[in-house]
């Protein structure tokens, strides 16, 4: 009887540990574990194509997370995606001529914004717009362009 109780206790402990591990994995994949930013300020950037970028995606500088994407909208005048980023107030000395790129990390292909600092003596502030941007590389477009070029080259050789 005592052995059975002890076995049930251990099974319960392992089930609880498994559920905890599953919850932690879900928070990590859902990017919910990342805390907010302190004393945030907002900057914007416009991109031709944001690919799979989502709200709450990280914003990094030199690989260090300095903020997150807070909103994504479509500018109806030029049909570009307007991305609003919430940057941590500790990083108020980012040059105003910095550039923003949409990058992909890891095997799951999570997209994020990477900032590259410029050389200006003026800094980004609340409401600034980053002028130099590089849109996401959409794999489907790259493959279709490669196949189209390959087909046009092979078609010209057959004549």
| Range in 34-48, 51-65, 119-133 the model is least confident about | 34-48
Per residue in 133-158, pLDDT tens?
998 877 777 788 888 887 777 765 55
Per residue in 4-32, pLDDT tens?
888 888 988 889 999 998 888 877 666 55
Concatenating the DSSP letter of every residue in 5-24 gives: HHHHHHHHHHHHHHHHHHHH
Helix (H, G, I), strand (E, B) or coil at 128: strand
Instruction: Please give the average per-residue pLDDT across 40-57, as a whole number.
Output: 93
- Report the phi/psi class of residue 106: left, alpha or beta, with left for phi > 0 and alpha for psi in -120 to 50: left
Domain limits, the chain: 1-33, 41-139
* 37 and 87 Cβ atoms separated by less than 8 Å: yes
The pLDDT assigned to 33 comes to 46
The pLDDT assigned to 29 comes to 66
Say what the pTM is: 0.69
């Amino acid at each position: 009887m005592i052995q059975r109780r002890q076995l049930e206790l251990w099974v319960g402990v392992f089930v609880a540990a498994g559920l905890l591990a599953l919850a932690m994995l879900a928070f990590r994949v859902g990017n919910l574990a990342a805390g907010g930013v302190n004393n945030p300020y907002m900057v914007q950037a416009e991109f031709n194509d944001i690919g799979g970028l989502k709200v709450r995606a990280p914003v990094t500088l030199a690989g260090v997370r300095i903020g997150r994407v807070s909103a994504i909208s479509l500018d109806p005048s030029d049909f570009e995606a307007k991305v609003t980023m919430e940057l941590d107030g500790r990083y108020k000395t980012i040059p105003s001529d910095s550039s923003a790129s949409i990058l992909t990390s890891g095997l799951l292909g999570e997209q994020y914004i990477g900032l590259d600092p410029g050389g200006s003596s003026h800094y980004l502030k609340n409401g600034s717009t980053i002028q130099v941007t590089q849109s996401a590389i959409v794999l489907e477009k790259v493959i279709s362009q490669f196949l189209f070029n390959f087909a046009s080259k092979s078609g010209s050789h057959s004549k």
